[in-house]
Amino acid sequence: MTDDRDLARDAEPWSPEEGEDYAYPRLSAAQADRVGAYGSLETLSGGQVLYANGDRGFDCYVVLDGHIDLYDESGEDPTRYRRIVAYGRHQFTGELTLLNGQKSLVRAVARDGTRVVRLTPLQLRILLAEEPEIARTVLKAFILRRRTYIEQGFGNLAVAGDPGEGRMLGLITFLRRNGHPFTLIDTRRPEGRAELVARGLDTSVALPVVLYGQGEYAETPDTRRLADLLGIVGALDSGEVFDVAVVGAGPAGLATAVYAASEGLRTIVIEADAPGGQAGTSSMIENYLGFPLGLSGQSLASRAEVQARKFGARIALPCTVERLECDTRPFTLRLEGGGTVRSRTVVVATGAKYRRLDLPGLDRFEQNGVHYAATSLEAALCAGADVVVVGGANSAGQAAVFLSQQARHVYMLVRGDELSATMSQYLRERIEATDRITVHTHTEVAELEGARCLERVHWVDRSTGERTVRPATGVFLMLGAVPNTRWLHDCFALDVHGFVRVGAGAAQAGGRQDTPGWAALQTSVAGVFAVGDVRAGSVKRVASAVGEGAMVMSAVHEALAKDERRL
């Protein structure tokens, strides 16, 4: 029988479990003995700094005797550190940073005479792959430690500005979707402005501003600059050749990476923003198999990212692919900024981008009241106010139900006669049962109003011509999407809407009349495949995208085998 606590944990993977034993567990004596076969035995000296905030390429330490103290270095006084925990016998250091190769967020210092098994990141990955019992304990601890780091703001990173302003909201969203700890300084409040002064910045500093390191800061950075400061962007070796290059880290791309890496293929995922794609912005997915209490899109993406990294997949972000060169072997992916990635096969999983309204001044209100996702971040900005959701499919229904929990009232504007026939029945019933949601059919947005941020929304009933004006602090555009295929530059066959043709359709476009069953996801170029929402004829469901990520592996293996036979 399933334990209710297991169901609760399934609903939110970052949730703290019973006590700190899960975040700071002890391996059994037998497990600690097995770890010794993967690393090197060392004795540490007192005061030895094993790694500090900002270090990269540091190791994992399993304590056999003695202690390792872990400190948070954030705070105004760099000479005073707050001790987080003292790792003792059979405990181990590290968290998710060890898997993604990013900068350390904390400082680890050994006590005199401490004996350890030292594991490099590569040795740790081998251990996790070969010792599933130990891997479960270690990964659970790493995930829960990162949760603590996020909650406590470890790592000495702060973002200051107006949380409702577009550029500030973009930085916050990027950090949250990438699971990076930070402290928010709200400069609308006197105490926020006072904190900036206390940190050595005057009131003339351009906002938003990111504070990092010891007294360093960057004014109005974009997300690429922020990623550089955090060390999220890893160096790519243009001489390295991968077996599989996955472009896009939505559910389809991450599933491909998990299965490819777990089967021993050299795998890289290239993502322009953050793991999860459009699904990563979903507030709650309630019809995903195996999660009866539902889970957020970001939670699903976070789990999948950890899983892919566990098996050794490289995830490069934020990196944008500008062009795929189809006439080279291995294939060459040219990146924004001049880098390249070479791979024997390519899986296109770039999904689709949000459809925009053709409205005057829309650019001015984007992220200043107009949103394309309804997560807890956007919902908090609209608490107690009226909001408008535009669209009638699943994403619009999920947004309306979620926002109704905090907004005063949600108005759904639907162009058609009713909610979309593709909307799940459970969402229809939820909307009908919620008196804080009103659905307006035959209706479209006519105008947006506001000085600095959105203040009022005008909409018109197309059947009667009646125009309505409502005060609203948020408009959520859930209008479907268009495929992210411009970067392909006519490399292979697309349909009239720009989606990638695969299987029989791609074969006919390429002058072939038949397609093997294993090549159902192959494009018109051998060795290049398309999965998820970017594929022509996809059903736009998370579960189907994940399924295609698994299905494509048989085609990838066949393509790699053919490539081997040509050598």
Instruction: Measure the CA–CA gap between 548 and 531, rounded to whole angstroms.
Output: 6
pLDDT at 31: 97
Q: Give the side-chain half-sphere CA count within 13 A for 542.
A: 29
For the structural domain made of 158-230, what CATH number should be given?
Answer: 3.40.30
Higher per-residue pLDDT: 551 or 78: 551
Q: Are strands 267-270 and 82-87 parallel, antiparallel or unpaired?
A: unpaired
The mean per-residue pLDDT over the stretch 1-24 comes to: 46
At 432-456, the pLDDT tens digits run: 999 999 999 999 999 999 988 899 9
Superfamily of structural domain 241-353+528-566: FAD/NAD(P)-binding domain (3.50.50.60)
DSSP 105: S
Residue 6, pLDDT score? 38
Specify the fold of 23-121: Jelly Rolls (2.60.120)
Yes or no: say if 23 and 144 are a contact pair by the CB < 8 Å rule.
yes
pLDDT at 497 over 90: no
Of residues 514 and 228, more confidence is placed in: 228
Q: Which two tokens stand for residue 552?
A: 């494509």
- Rounded-to-integer distance, Cα 525 and Cα 552, Å: 15
Nearest-10 Cα torsion for 25, 31, 33, 38: -90
| Separation in Å, CA 400 to CA 292, 376, 434 | 20, 13, 10
Comparing 15 with 403, which gets the higher pLDDT? 403
Q: Does 9 have pLDDT greater than 80? A: no
Q: Write down the pLDDT at residue 506.
A: 72
Average of per-residue pLDDT across 270-299 = 86
What tens digit of pLDDT does each residue of 232-260 get? Answer: 876 677 789 999 999 999 999 999 999 99
DSSP state of 238: T
Q: What does the block give as tokens for 160? A: 């200051």
pLDDT given for residue 44 in this prediction: 97
Identify the H or E element spanning 49: strand 49-51
Contact 57, 120 (CB under 8 A): no
Q: Where are the domains of the chain?
A: 23-121, 158-230, 241-353+528-566, 362-479
Cα separation, 472 vs 450, in Å, equals 10
Most confident range, picked from 177-191, 210-224, 245-259, 498-512: 245-259
Query: Are 23-121 and 241-353+528-566 equal in CATH topology?
Result: no
pLDDT band at 226 (very low <50, low <70, confident <90, very high): very high
Residue 79 pLDDT greater than 60, yes or no: no
Locate tokens 């491909």: which residue?
Answer: 256
User: Over 70: is that where the pLDDT of 5 sits?
Assistant: no
pLDDT tens column, 82-123: 899 999 999 999 999 999 888 899 999 999 999 999 999 999
**Tens digits of residue pLDDT in 287-327:** 888 989 888 888 899 999 999 999 999 999 889 999 999 88
* pLDDT: which is higher, 7 or 194: 194
Cβ-contact 512, 391 below 8 angstroms? no
Q: Which of 35, 172, 153 is nearest to 93 (CA)?
A: 35
Higher pLDDT, 317 or 400: 400
Look over the chain and give the mean of its residue pLDDT values, rounded to a whole number.
88
Place of tokens 């800061």: 217
pLDDT band, residue 16 (cuts 50/70/90):
very low
Class of domain 362-479: alpha beta
pLDDT in tens, 359-382: 888 888 887 899 888 888 888 889
Task: State the DSSP H helix or E strand holding residue 60, giving kind and residue range, or none if neither.
Answer: strand 60-65
pTM over 0.75? The answer is yes
- Give Cβ neighbours of residue 538 (< 8 Å, ≥ 6 apart): 499, 532, 544, 545, 548
Which pLDDT band holds residue 77 (cuts at 50, 70, 90)?
A: low
> Which residues does residue 62 pair with via DSSP β-bridges, in sequence order?
92, 117
Return the minimum-mean-pLDDT range out of 227-231, 250-254, 497-501: 227-231
Round to whole Å and give the CA distance between 558 and 155.
Answer: 45
Q: DSSP states of 397-462 as a string?
A: HHHHHHHTTTSSEEEEE-SSSSS-TTS-HHHHHHHHH-TTEEEESSEEEEEEE-SSS--EEEEEET
Of the chain, the percentage scoring pLDDT greater than 70 comes to 92
